[in-house]
Structure 1
Amino acid sequence: MIIVMKPNPSREVVQGMVERVEKMGLKAHVIEGTERTVIAAVGDDRKGNKAVFESYEEVEKVMPILAPYKIASVETKPESTVIKVRDLVIGGGTVGVIAGPCSVESEEQVMETARQVKAAGAKGLRGGAFKPRTSPYSFQGMKEEGLKLLAAAREETGLAIVTEVMTPHHVELVAAYTDVLQIGARNMQNYHLLQAVGEVRKPILLKRGASASMDEFLLAAEYILDQGNQEVALCERGIRTFETHTRFTLPLASVPYLKARTHLPIVIDPSHGTGVASLVTPMCRAAVAAGADGLIIEVHPDPKNAASDGAQSLTPEVFAAAMEQCRKVANALDLNM
């Protein structure tokens, strides 16, 4: 249930209500908006007595949360969540762009890409140090050495670093080097990993599983939110269908659908969503037009010789042109980019 406090409650009043919620065996999540402070009381509905909470003078009203995902629901927090880290802003009328190679391959590759994507307007640098691959014989990433190269690129360019964490025991290591931790599609329902990143106070980019429903996607985000980390961005990266003309099917209807149901920002990955470099720019434009809060795009200085995902990677020159086109769409919608 959602406990809506009367305007301008003191910290002591809010803490007192949190303690009452927890005494009933529920978990309390305090969400402070510009106009209202609400407390989401989450847990076994049979433990919460709506009438008891309504009886307190400092409470304005109590409402049930109808969605299965409680903290992620727009019912709990009507105001959109905005993620800000360094110069990267995702949401709140700003389309944040993250770009970079699929895999960190060398210092020269990372630094060259970072300089060029920043010059084109990106605010975040993506790059895989730990790479989950379908084949055990494929390139698995440079691991901690790759993280160090990403950190060096951040030192020079100021770009926020976005990289994937694959296991709970890697969370502390990856968090030490990165600004945003990515949960890949294969790990969307790795609940131990979701809980582990939920304990980190850094933004999380959660990718949708290739066969996951929207409720499953949002409930995966709920695992992170339930651990206290409120900075979660949802990434639509395409789903598996019967189509073969693209690597996956990129359903841009996900953007307005999710915006009607959650306060979390929505990022689109047109690189994995299509798997074809020539389709990435049109899907970037379409994603901005659909209302996406961010884009994550694979860019490589030499896609033909990339260690992974070269077929879907843009050259820096094509990326710069794509950014110019997307800015025109964003300007038409009064968005920042």
Structure 2
Amino acid sequence: MDMKFQPLLQEKPENKPIIIAGPCSAETEQQVLQTAHGLAGKGVDLYRAGIWKPRTRPGAFEGVGTEGLKWLRRVKEETGMKVTTEVANTQHVFEALKHQIDVLWLGARTTVNPFSVQEVADALKGVDIPVLIKNPINPDYKLWVGAIERIYKAGITKIGVIHRGFSYHGETKYRNVPRWQLAIDLKREFPDLPIICDNSHICGRRDILLPVAQKALDLNFDGIMTEVHPDPDNAWSDAAQQITPSQYLELKEKLVFRLPTTDDMEFLENLEHLRHEIDELDEELLNLLGARMKLAERIGEYKQRNNISILQASRWNEILERAVIKGKMKGLSEEFVTVLLKAVHQESINHQEKVMNAPGAEA
């Protein structure tokens, strides 16, 4: 589907990041306004606050509901900041529009359900309002694109996406693993689609908010969404990932905002030279991987003749452990080496399986 997107915020200068900040949840009118006044005049483009909160388990705080929209209107009146909140169904959309919310967003639990996305899309037909779409809970690229397409087909052209990371079963320092490549793939397919990094939900903890936000900016993301609360430790939801307005302003001051490109010819020539070297190394890597798969096929033929199973767990563990150690010596992270080797191992299994189950192969 060919989609052409309009700028999210018409008054925003080109190449300036979109800054979104505010509490995870609107808890009380005082809390909403205190946070807003702490951020007013500090370069925040959108003040965020969750009014309806879809929680993983029942019994958790699920938002104050429509009453909180009145508080967001007061934020607009008293500070001049635009406001944004999450919607998940038709009623949410109608209430948000009635209270003059400037930007809507779809949460990860909505994006994961095409029925819910379509319900929101139907409610938005004939409305000219920017919509942000968070990635689905699981790393499903097509599901994310599908949500964008549904909102676009409703006539909304001011669309952006929020990269908030993905659920992961296992040990990780993140609340939601970034999987940056999915956002990069989205940027490659839709170059004019703004991408905002929700560093709060990726991190789940305040001590690593800065490096994650900086990495997003280094990857040419179009903005940052961060959760800010006047008393984070006593927040009614997601306390560990929120920071105070003063802490947020310190974080924002430390961020380095990159330029997407330059017309400096010396820089461009040097960059082109280095990229050419990378292209040559990439070709060499592909040649080596191709040769490795040929060896895997020979191993498959040998296993087939001797009726031996493809997977040899002890051998695979040995390869992985050795590679992680050697990778660290070469400045490669354990995460990268593990992901790379698992992909190579799976491709090797595929090649062996093809050989061993080929028509006419000996029993």
Residue 195 of structure 1 pairs with residue 118 of structure 2: no
Distance between the aligned counterparts of 2:62 and 2:261, measured in 1?
Answer: 40
Please list, as runs of the form range in 1=range in 2, the aligned pairs for 1:36-75 lying within 5 A after superposition: 70-72=1-3
Please list, as runs of the form range in 1=range in 2, the aligned pairs for 1:28-107 lying within 5 A after superposition: 70-72=1-3, 77=4, 81-84=6-9, 89=12, 92-107=14-29
2:174 aligned to 246, 250, 256, which one? 246
Structure 2 counterpart of 1:291, which letter?
N
Distance between the aligned counterparts of 2:241 and 2:86, measured in 1?
Answer: 18
SS state at 1:243 partner: coil
Which residue of structure 2 aligns with residue 261 of structure 1?
189
User: Residue deviations 1:278-310, cap 9 Å, x none?
Assistant: 111111111111111111110001001101011
Distance between the aligned counterparts of 1:94 and 1:120, measured in 2?
Answer: 14
Distance between the aligned counterparts of 1:118 and 1:125, measured in 2?
Answer: 9
2:248 aligned to 308, 314, 319, which one? 319
SS state at 2:160 partner: strand
Please list, as runs of the form range in 1=range in 2, the aligned pairs for 1:264-303 lying within 5 A after superposition: 264-303=193-232
**CA drift at 1:104:** 0.5
Q: More helix per residue: 1 or 2?
A: 2
User: Residue deviations 1:16-58, cap 9 Å, x none?
Assistant: xxxxxxxxxxxxxxxxxxxxxxxxxxxxxxxxxxxxxxxxxxx
Which residue of structure 2 aligns with residue 20 of structure 1?
none
Q: 1:225 to 1:332 in 2, by over 3 A?
A: closer
Report if aligned partners of 1:238, 1:248 keep a CA contact under 8 Å in 2: yes
User: Residue deviations 1:172-222, cap 9 Å, x none?
Assistant: 111222111111000003233342354132111100111142222111100
Q: 1:231 to 1:287 in 2, by over 3 A?
A: same
Structure 1 counterpart of 2:148, which letter?
A
Which residue of structure 1 aligns with residue 148 of structure 2?
221
User: Residue deviations 1:215-259, cap 9 Å, x none?
Assistant: 221111000101111111111100112334321102333443222
| Identity within the alignment, % | 33
Unaligned runs of 5+ in 1: 1-69
Structure 2 counterpart of 1:243, which letter?
E
Distance between the aligned counterparts of 2:14 and 2:44, measured in 1?
Answer: 17
**Displaced runs of 4 or more, over 6 A:** 331-334
**CA drift at 1:143:** 0.9
User: Which one has the largest radius of gyration?
Assistant: 2
Which residue of structure 2 aligns with residue 204 of structure 1?
131
Which residue of structure 2 aligns with residue 182 of structure 1?
105
Report if aligned partners of 1:171, 1:196 keep a CA contact under 8 Å in 2: no
Distance between the aligned counterparts of 2:175 and 2:92, measured in 1?
Answer: 29
**CA drift at 1:97:** 0.5
**CA drift at 1:170:** 2.2
Distance between the aligned counterparts of 1:288 and 1:333, measured in 2?
Answer: 13
Distance between the aligned counterparts of 1:192 and 1:220, measured in 2?
Answer: 8
Distance between the aligned counterparts of 2:123 and 2:225, measured in 1?
Answer: 20
Which residue of structure 1 aligns with residue 59 of structure 2?
137
2:49 aligned to 121, 127, 130, which one? 127
Structure 1 counterpart of 2:62, which letter?
Q
Distance between the aligned counterparts of 2:196 and 2:123, measured in 1?
Answer: 19
Residue 329 of structure 1 pairs with residue 252 of structure 2: no
Distance between the aligned counterparts of 1:333 and 1:280, measured in 2?
Answer: 26
**CA drift at 1:71:** 3.4
Q: 1:282 to 1:194 in 2, by over 3 A?
A: same
Alignment root-mean-square deviation, CA:
2.0
In the superposition, the TM-score normalised over structure 1's length comes to 0.71
Structure 2 counterpart of 1:303, which letter?
P
Relative contact order: is structure 1 or structure 2 higher (C-alpha 8 Å, sep ≥ 6)?
1
Report if aligned partners of 1:129, 1:163 keep a CA contact under 8 Å in 2: yes
Report if aligned partners of 1:255, 1:291 keep a CA contact under 8 Å in 2: no
Which residue of structure 2 aligns with residue 28 of structure 1?
none
Q: More strand per residue: 1 or 2?
A: 1
Q: 1:121 to 1:331 in 2, by over 3 A?
A: farther
Number of matched pairs: 255
In the superposition, the TM-score normalised over structure 2's length comes to 0.66
Structure 1 counterpart of 2:174, which letter?
T
SS state at 1:311 partner: helix
Report if aligned partners of 2:220, 2:258 keep a CA contact under 8 Å in 1: no
Structure 1 counterpart of 2:249, which letter?
A
Report if aligned partners of 1:71, 1:226 keep a CA contact under 8 Å in 2: no
Unaligned runs of 5+ in 2: 263-363
